[in-house]
Chain A
Amino acid sequence: MSTGWGRNRALLLYGLLSLAYAFLYVPIVVMIIYSFNASRLVTVWGGFSIKWYGELLQDEKVLDAAWLSLQVAVANATIATILGTLAAVVLVRFRRFRGRTLFTGMIAAPLVMPEIITGLAMLLLFVAMEQAIGWPEGRSITTIVIAHVTFSLSFVTVVVQSRLAQMDASLEEAAMDLGARPTKVFLVITLPIIAPALLAGWLLAFTLSIDDVVISAFVSGPGATPLPIVIFSKVRLGVSPEINALATIVVALVGVAMAIAGRVMLSRDRDERQHSTTSPQSV
């Protein structure tokens, strides 16, 4: 009787799990299917067609915006990773210094700050700065990057911080004892160990930036419009098959990237396990 009940419970559990996955994926699948719909209407299937992809690739506004978003995302991810790593080193390695409470507060706050407040605050800062010192002139790629770095650097810090805290500190101490300078210790010992966290932080900052609507809406201008803003203004007017095509491309790119990342992680996992089981002496 108990096994029967157990099996029922497992069935119920996996039923609920499938429900959650269905909820997550049905809208995406629907969008992909309708990106190949020849008809402009959602409810009508007008036959298979790839014409929306063609139209998308000829839409210069979308292409320009995509290029801008890519530049912003790369610049943002790189700056945020550098600053976020420095901040993580400060938080983990420097136990006591003046202004630590303020610093931890400023790292934690962007994580819980509604985007709309951050966006408003950034724009008001840029306006005040332009009045006071004449820089930055208007809204441009510079203001977008600054605003994005400010909110994504905290996420990088959190990712790097946890890796740094888990790291075996005796490795650093050994290098120090052998006479290496702190900079060298960091570059030769610490950096390679926390590298996976840096990569994860970079990707996270990249994604946050390329996906951001609300903050960009405040700090972008007519001369510099990132892709999400272009999509948002199109979508506000209703369903557009072009956006379905764009969404399909995004999902395909992310899917491929995730598959590669998963593969790499899996093979490294296996390598590590083999190393630790076959040759414990060599470690």
Chain B
Amino acid sequence: MTALDRVARRWGRLIVGFPPYVWLLIFFLVPFLIVIKISLSQAVMGIPPYTPLLEWGEGAVLTIRIALGSFGTLFSDELYAFAYLNSLRLAAIATFCCLLLGYPAAYAIARSSHSVRNLLLLLVALPFWTSFLIRVYAWIGILKTEGLLNGLLLWLGIIDTPLQILETDLAVLIGMVYSYLPFMVLPLFATLEKMDLSLLEAAADLGCRPFQAFISVTLPLSLPGIVAGSLLVFIPAVGEFVIPDLLGGPDTLMIGKILWAEFFDNRDWPVASAVAVAMLILLVVPVMVFQRLQGRATEGTR
């Protein structure tokens, strides 16, 4: 390779890498720095509704004003801690329900014959391609007091008075399981499909009962799929706003809803930013560290 070639190669790489890199720096990294900055300022009336962090005073003296008031609010008002814990709780239950419902489905699809498998997969993916908002909305008509589910239960004589399901945590859970089920089934299917079935035959030959073989062979082998699917369900569920807003009630506290209310209803940008920063530290950073460790572990085994 001549020196000229090397220079050309270097420039070529720069031209390819430059656009996505700069785009992400400006539109992804910088916004987060701004969020952190605003979380450290104070709310005021005006446009924009927060105090500047850095200010050039008289005689070019740079003053830095850091207000920790917004974070103080998060700690002193237990509403925030409660909303955060409740988000984790609901997301965890939803993830578990997705696993209970999704595992047998993924298992059945993975063991089905080749001709129907693609159709079954397509049917799992189809709801994902239709509007998420519309699918959540569909549950309002089913769950509300004079809705279809209550109508059916009354007609069957199981209940005498309509149940209050809409505007409760239960409705939020149903909405989450419904919306995120495909995200659980698809990764589970991917690992179960790749599984070497001769391992099960070997277990059977050695006198293992099917259930025992499932517990000691299939389940551990599908663990990567379980982890991937659970993360895909759990993470968006914790920060969910649309589902608790449409299906939950006024006392369904979730952290995404709180952030929305602080920003749009109270117009308190610093507190909204502080909620976002807290969410980043308590949710996104642990997940990214976990994924990195996991990635390194799989590289190590290879």
A187 CA / B130 CA spacing, docked (Å): 33
Contacts of B29 in A (CB 8 A): 102, 106
Closest to A9 in B: B210
Q: What number of A residues sit within 8 Å (CB to CB) of B?
A: 87
Contacts of A207 in B (CB 8 A): 128-129
A146 lies within 8 A of B27 (CB) = yes
Interface centre among A108, A114, A232 (most CB of B within 10 A): A114
A90 CA / B135 CA spacing, docked (Å): 37
Q: B142 at the A/B interface (Cβ < 8 Å)? A: yes
* Contact flag A109-B28 (CB < 8 Å), given A87-B20, A124-B38, A127-B48: yes
A210 CA / B268 CA spacing, docked (Å): 29
Cβ of B8 to closest chain A Cβ, rounded Å: 8
* Contact flag A103-B241 (CB < 8 Å), given A28-B127, A124-B35, A125-B31: no
B241 lies within 8 A of A247 (CB) = no
Q: B248 at the A/B interface (Cβ < 8 Å)? A: no
Q: A57 at the A/B interface (Cβ < 8 Å)? A: no
Q: A14 at the A/B interface (Cβ < 8 Å)? A: yes
A116 CA / B185 CA spacing, docked (Å): 25
A254 lies within 8 A of B126 (CB) = yes
* Contact flag A13-B134 (CB < 8 Å), given A30-B141, A30-B148, A120-B263: no
Cβ of A236 to closest chain B Cβ, rounded Å: 7
Closest to B23 in A: A83
Q: A20 at the A/B interface (Cβ < 8 Å)? A: yes
**Chain A positions 14 through 33: 1 when the CB is less than 8 Å from some CB of chain B, otherwise 0:** 10110111011101101100
A28 CA / B132 CA spacing, docked (Å): 11
Q: A165 at the A/B interface (Cβ < 8 Å)? A: no
A-side interface mostly? helix
A176 CA / B44 CA spacing, docked (Å): 61
Closest to A124 in B: B34
A247 lies within 8 A of B118 (CB) = no
Contacts of A24 in B (CB 8 A): 123-124, 127, 178, 181-182
B48 lies within 8 A of A131 (CB) = yes
Cβ of A183 to closest chain B Cβ, rounded Å: 7
Q: A153 at the A/B interface (Cβ < 8 Å)? A: yes
3 shortest interchain CB distances as A-B pairs: A114-B239, A121-B31, A16-B104
Interfacial residues, chain A to chain B (CB-CB below 8 A): 5-6, 9, 13-14, 16-17, 19-21, 23-25, 27-28, 30-31, 34, 41-43, 82-84, 86-87, 89-90, 94, 97, 99, 102-103, 105-110, 112-117, 120-122, 124-125, 127-128, 131, 146-147, 149-150, 153, 157, 182-183, 207, 210-211, 213-214, 217-218, 228, 231-232, 235-236, 238-239, 243, 246-247, 250-251, 254-255, 257-258, 262, 265-266
Interfacial residues, chain B to chain A (CB-CB below 8 A): 9, 12-13, 16-17, 19-21, 23-25, 27-32, 34-35, 38, 48, 101-102, 104-105, 107-109, 111, 118-120, 122-135, 137-142, 144, 146-148, 151, 177-178, 181-182, 185, 210, 231, 235-236, 238-242, 245-246, 256, 259-260, 263-264, 269, 272-273, 276, 279-280, 283-284, 287-288, 291
